[in-house]
Protein backbone atom coordinates (compact mmCIF):
# COMPACT_ATOMS: atom_id res chain seq x y z
CA UNK A 1 0.00 0.00 0.00
CA UNK A 2 1.30 3.41 -0.92
CA UNK A 3 2.56 5.35 2.09
CA UNK A 4 1.49 8.89 2.75
CA UNK A 5 3.50 11.29 0.61
CA UNK A 6 4.26 14.96 1.00
CA UNK A 7 3.53 17.32 -1.89
CA UNK A 8 4.57 20.93 -2.31
CA UNK A 9 2.02 23.31 -0.88
CA UNK A 10 1.78 25.16 -4.17
CA UNK A 11 0.81 22.05 -6.13
CA UNK A 12 -2.67 23.06 -7.33
CA UNK A 13 -3.52 19.56 -8.59
CA UNK A 14 -4.07 18.36 -5.04
CA UNK A 15 -6.64 19.87 -2.70
CA UNK A 16 -6.07 19.83 1.04
CA UNK A 17 -8.64 17.04 1.39
CA UNK A 18 -6.83 14.89 -1.15
CA UNK A 19 -3.56 15.36 0.73
CA UNK A 20 -5.26 14.05 3.84
CA UNK A 21 -6.65 11.03 2.00
CA UNK A 22 -3.55 10.03 0.04
CA UNK A 23 -2.31 7.72 2.80
CA UNK A 24 -5.34 5.51 2.06
CA UNK A 25 -4.88 5.50 -1.71
CA UNK A 26 -4.03 2.26 -3.51
CA UNK A 27 -3.36 2.46 -7.25
CA UNK A 28 -2.46 0.09 -10.06
CA UNK A 29 -4.13 -3.15 -11.12
CA UNK A 30 -1.95 -5.56 -9.14
CA UNK A 31 -1.87 -3.42 -6.02
CA UNK A 32 -5.66 -3.18 -5.92
CA UNK A 33 -6.01 -6.92 -6.62
CA UNK A 34 -3.62 -7.75 -3.78
CA UNK A 35 -5.45 -5.40 -1.40
CA UNK A 36 -8.75 -7.15 -2.11
CA UNK A 37 -7.15 -10.60 -1.86
CA UNK A 38 -5.66 -9.67 1.53
CA UNK A 39 -9.15 -8.99 2.85
CA UNK A 40 -8.50 -5.31 3.46
CA UNK A 41 -11.54 -3.04 3.75
CA UNK A 42 -12.01 -0.81 0.69
CA UNK A 43 -14.33 2.18 0.68
CA UNK A 44 -14.51 2.63 -3.08
CA UNK A 45 -12.71 1.99 -6.36
CA UNK A 46 -12.49 4.35 -9.32
CA UNK A 47 -12.05 2.81 -12.78
CA UNK A 48 -11.11 4.89 -15.83
CA UNK A 49 -13.59 4.84 -18.70
CA UNK A 50 -12.90 2.78 -21.80
CA UNK A 51 -10.09 0.55 -20.50
CA UNK A 52 -10.63 -3.12 -21.37
CA UNK A 53 -7.81 -4.35 -19.13
CA UNK A 54 -9.92 -3.60 -16.04
CA UNK A 55 -12.77 -6.05 -16.73
CA UNK A 56 -11.47 -8.79 -14.42
CA UNK A 57 -10.82 -6.31 -11.62
CA UNK A 58 -14.36 -4.95 -11.92
CA UNK A 59 -15.73 -8.49 -11.57
CA UNK A 60 -13.54 -8.99 -8.51
CA UNK A 61 -14.96 -5.81 -7.00
CA UNK A 62 -18.50 -7.04 -7.67
CA UNK A 63 -17.75 -10.41 -6.06
CA UNK A 64 -16.57 -8.66 -2.89
CA UNK A 65 -19.40 -6.10 -2.84
CA UNK A 66 -17.00 -3.19 -3.17
CA UNK A 67 -18.57 0.04 -4.46
CA UNK A 68 -16.98 1.38 -7.63
CA UNK A 69 -17.50 4.09 -10.22
CA UNK A 70 -16.46 4.50 -13.84
CA UNK A 71 -14.90 7.95 -14.21
CA UNK A 72 -12.91 9.98 -16.76
CA UNK A 73 -9.22 9.23 -16.54
CA UNK A 74 -8.62 12.90 -15.69
CA UNK A 75 -10.25 12.32 -12.31
CA UNK A 76 -7.82 9.52 -11.53
CA UNK A 77 -4.90 11.61 -12.80
CA UNK A 78 -6.00 14.24 -10.29
CA UNK A 79 -5.77 11.74 -7.43
CA UNK A 80 -2.25 10.50 -8.09
CA UNK A 81 0.57 11.45 -10.47
CA UNK A 82 1.91 7.87 -10.38
CA UNK A 83 1.31 5.09 -12.93
CA UNK A 84 -2.17 4.10 -11.79
CA UNK A 85 -3.08 1.96 -14.86
CA UNK A 86 -6.58 3.42 -14.81
CA UNK A 87 -7.59 2.30 -11.32
CA UNK A 88 -7.37 3.69 -7.79
CA UNK A 89 -8.92 2.42 -4.59
CA UNK A 90 -9.45 4.02 -1.20
CA UNK A 91 -8.65 1.72 1.67
CA UNK A 92 -11.06 2.14 4.57
CA UNK A 93 -9.69 3.72 7.75
CA UNK A 94 -11.89 1.40 9.83
CA UNK A 95 -12.73 -2.30 9.98
CA UNK A 96 -16.41 -3.02 9.40
CA UNK A 97 -18.43 -5.27 11.69
CA UNK A 98 -20.99 -7.94 10.83
CA UNK A 99 -24.55 -7.07 11.80
CA UNK A 100 -25.45 -10.60 12.89
CA UNK A 101 -22.39 -10.68 15.17
CA UNK A 102 -23.48 -7.42 16.83
CA UNK A 103 -27.03 -8.62 17.44
CA UNK A 104 -25.86 -12.00 18.72
CA UNK A 105 -23.37 -10.35 21.09
CA UNK A 106 -26.05 -8.09 22.58
CA UNK A 107 -28.45 -10.95 23.25
CA UNK A 108 -25.70 -13.24 24.56
CA UNK A 109 -24.84 -10.53 27.10
CA UNK A 110 -28.52 -10.28 28.07
CA UNK A 111 -28.77 -6.74 26.72
CA UNK A 112 -31.48 -5.24 24.54
CA UNK A 113 -29.68 -4.06 21.40
CA UNK A 114 -30.00 -0.46 20.25
CA UNK A 115 -29.00 -0.15 16.58
CA UNK A 116 -28.92 3.00 14.44
CA UNK A 117 -29.72 2.51 10.74
CA UNK A 118 -28.89 5.36 8.36
CA UNK A 119 -30.77 5.46 5.06
CA UNK A 120 -28.71 7.38 2.45
CA UNK A 121 -26.90 9.89 4.67
CA UNK A 122 -24.60 11.42 2.05
CA UNK A 123 -22.73 14.19 3.86
CA UNK A 124 -19.54 12.95 5.56
CA UNK A 125 -19.79 15.64 8.22
CA UNK A 126 -23.33 14.64 9.09
CA UNK A 127 -22.17 11.03 9.27
CA UNK A 128 -19.30 12.00 11.55
CA UNK A 129 -21.53 14.08 13.83
CA UNK A 130 -24.10 11.28 14.04
CA UNK A 131 -21.38 8.75 14.91
CA UNK A 132 -20.06 11.02 17.65
CA UNK A 133 -23.50 11.20 19.29
CA UNK A 134 -24.11 7.49 18.75
CA UNK A 135 -20.87 6.47 20.45
CA UNK A 136 -21.54 8.81 23.37
CA UNK A 137 -25.05 7.38 23.70
CA UNK A 138 -23.78 3.81 23.79
CA UNK A 139 -25.41 2.73 20.52
CA UNK A 140 -24.41 -0.84 19.72
CA UNK A 141 -23.79 -0.28 16.01
CA UNK A 142 -24.41 1.98 13.04
CA UNK A 143 -25.73 0.35 9.87
CA UNK A 144 -25.01 1.92 6.46
CA UNK A 145 -25.81 0.86 2.89
CA UNK A 146 -22.84 0.18 0.63
CA UNK A 147 -24.23 2.39 -2.14
CA UNK A 148 -25.80 5.82 -1.90
CA UNK A 149 -24.21 6.77 1.41
CA UNK A 150 -21.28 8.87 2.58
CA UNK A 151 -17.94 7.09 2.68
CA UNK A 152 -16.04 6.86 5.92
CA UNK A 153 -13.09 9.11 5.24
CA UNK A 154 -10.60 10.87 7.49
CA UNK A 155 -12.93 13.89 7.30
CA UNK A 156 -15.80 11.81 8.71
CA UNK A 157 -13.54 10.43 11.44
CA UNK A 158 -12.35 13.92 12.32
CA UNK A 159 -15.93 15.22 12.53
CA UNK A 160 -16.81 12.27 14.75
CA UNK A 161 -13.95 13.25 17.10
CA UNK A 162 -12.59 9.76 16.59
CA UNK A 163 -15.86 8.01 17.52
CA UNK A 164 -15.83 6.04 14.24
CA UNK A 165 -12.73 4.27 15.55
CA UNK A 166 -14.73 2.88 18.46
CA UNK A 167 -18.37 2.33 17.50
CA UNK A 168 -19.06 -0.75 15.33
CA UNK A 169 -20.13 0.13 11.78
CA UNK A 170 -21.90 -2.40 9.56
CA UNK A 171 -21.90 -1.84 5.79
CA UNK A 172 -24.78 -3.67 4.10
CA UNK A 173 -25.16 -4.43 0.40
CA UNK A 174 -28.95 -4.66 0.76
CA UNK A 175 -30.37 -2.39 3.45
CA UNK A 176 -33.87 -3.83 3.04
CA UNK A 177 -32.60 -7.33 3.85
CA UNK A 178 -30.69 -5.91 6.82
CA UNK A 179 -33.92 -4.37 8.16
CA UNK A 180 -35.74 -7.67 7.69
CA UNK A 181 -32.95 -9.41 9.61
CA UNK A 182 -33.25 -6.97 12.50
CA UNK A 183 -37.02 -7.40 12.68
CA UNK A 184 -36.76 -11.20 12.47
CA UNK A 185 -34.19 -11.06 15.27
CA UNK A 186 -36.78 -9.46 17.52
CA UNK A 187 -35.92 -5.77 17.19
CA UNK A 188 -38.68 -3.22 16.74
CA UNK A 189 -38.00 -0.85 13.86
CA UNK A 190 -38.74 2.78 14.72
CA UNK A 191 -38.65 5.27 11.85
CA UNK A 192 -38.05 8.94 12.58
CA UNK A 193 -39.75 11.47 10.33
CA UNK A 194 -41.41 14.86 10.69
CA UNK A 195 -44.41 13.39 8.84
CA UNK A 196 -45.53 11.46 11.91
CA UNK A 197 -48.06 12.79 14.42
CA UNK A 198 -46.68 10.56 17.17
CA UNK A 199 -44.02 12.22 19.31
CA UNK A 200 -40.98 10.13 20.18
CA UNK A 201 -41.72 10.62 23.90
CA UNK A 202 -44.81 8.40 23.53
CA UNK A 203 -42.80 5.49 22.16
CA UNK A 204 -41.13 2.74 24.20
CA UNK A 205 -37.44 2.44 23.31
CA UNK A 206 -36.54 0.11 26.16
CA UNK A 207 -36.91 -3.15 24.23
CA UNK A 208 -34.65 -4.41 21.42
CA UNK A 209 -34.74 -1.49 18.98
CA UNK A 210 -33.44 -0.33 15.62
CA UNK A 211 -33.79 3.41 14.99
CA UNK A 212 -34.11 4.33 11.30
CA UNK A 213 -32.99 7.78 10.16
CA UNK A 214 -33.57 9.01 6.59
CA UNK A 215 -31.52 11.07 4.17
CA UNK A 216 -30.88 14.80 4.35
CA UNK A 217 -32.90 15.39 1.17
CA UNK A 218 -36.07 13.31 1.37
CA UNK A 219 -36.03 11.36 4.61
CA UNK A 220 -36.69 7.65 4.90
CA UNK A 221 -37.32 5.69 1.70
CA UNK A 222 -41.05 4.87 1.29
CA UNK A 223 -40.39 1.12 1.12
CA UNK A 224 -38.54 1.29 4.44
CA UNK A 225 -41.25 3.39 6.06
CA UNK A 226 -43.71 0.58 5.34
CA UNK A 227 -41.48 -1.81 7.24
CA UNK A 228 -41.44 0.28 10.41
CA UNK A 229 -43.28 -0.95 13.48
CA UNK A 230 -43.67 2.63 14.63
CA UNK A 231 -43.06 6.06 13.06
CA UNK A 232 -42.24 8.94 15.38
CA UNK A 233 -41.39 12.61 15.19
CA UNK A 234 -39.61 15.25 17.25
CA UNK A 235 -41.91 18.03 18.56
CA UNK A 236 -41.43 21.25 16.58
CA UNK A 237 -42.97 24.41 18.00
CA UNK A 238 -41.01 27.11 16.17
CA UNK A 239 -41.23 28.48 12.65
CA UNK A 240 -38.64 26.03 11.30
CA UNK A 241 -40.22 22.62 10.75
CA UNK A 242 -37.10 20.50 10.39
CA UNK A 243 -33.75 19.86 12.04
CA UNK A 244 -30.33 18.96 10.74
CA UNK A 245 -30.21 15.17 10.47
CA UNK A 246 -27.34 14.86 12.94
CA UNK A 247 -29.21 16.93 15.53
CA UNK A 248 -32.42 14.96 15.01
CA UNK A 249 -30.53 11.67 15.33
CA UNK A 250 -28.96 12.78 18.60
CA UNK A 251 -32.32 13.80 20.09
CA UNK A 252 -33.93 10.46 19.27
CA UNK A 253 -30.97 8.41 20.48
CA UNK A 254 -30.89 10.26 23.78
CA UNK A 255 -34.61 9.76 24.28
CA UNK A 256 -33.85 6.05 24.07
CA UNK A 257 -30.98 6.51 26.54
CA UNK A 258 -33.24 8.46 28.92
CA UNK A 259 -35.83 5.71 28.93
CA UNK A 260 -33.27 2.96 29.38
CA UNK A 261 -31.58 4.71 32.31
Write the Ramachandran bin of 161: left for phi over 0, alpha for psi from -120 to 50, otherwise beta: left
Residue 11 is predicted with a pLDDT of: 41
Residue 20 is predicted with a pLDDT of: 37
Across the range 139-147, mean pLDDT stands at 96
Q: List, for residues 173-190, the tens digit of each pLDDT value.
A: 999 999 999 999 999 999
Q: How many CA atoms lie within 13 A of 110 on its CB side?
A: 0
In the chain, the percentage of residues whose pLDDT exceeds 70 is: 91
User: Structural domains in the chain?
Assistant: 16-91 (3.30.1330.30), 99-260 (3.40.1280.10)
Mean pLDDT over each residue of the chain, to the nearest integer: 90
Q: List, for residues 106-129, the tens digit of each pLDDT value.
A: 999 999 999 999 999 999 999 999
Q: Which contacts qualify for 108-113: CB closer than 8 Å, 24 or more apart?
A: 111/140, 112/206, 112/207, 112/208, 112/209, 112/260, 113/140, 113/141, 113/187, 113/208, 113/209, 113/210
Amino acid sequence: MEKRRQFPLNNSRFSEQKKVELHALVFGIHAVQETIAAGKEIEKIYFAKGQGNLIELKELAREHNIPFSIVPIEKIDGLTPKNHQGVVAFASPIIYSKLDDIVHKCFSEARNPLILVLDRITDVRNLGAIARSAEAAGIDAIVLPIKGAAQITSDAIKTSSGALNFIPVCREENLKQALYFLKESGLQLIGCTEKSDTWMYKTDFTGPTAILIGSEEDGISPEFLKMCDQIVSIPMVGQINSLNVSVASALVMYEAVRQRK
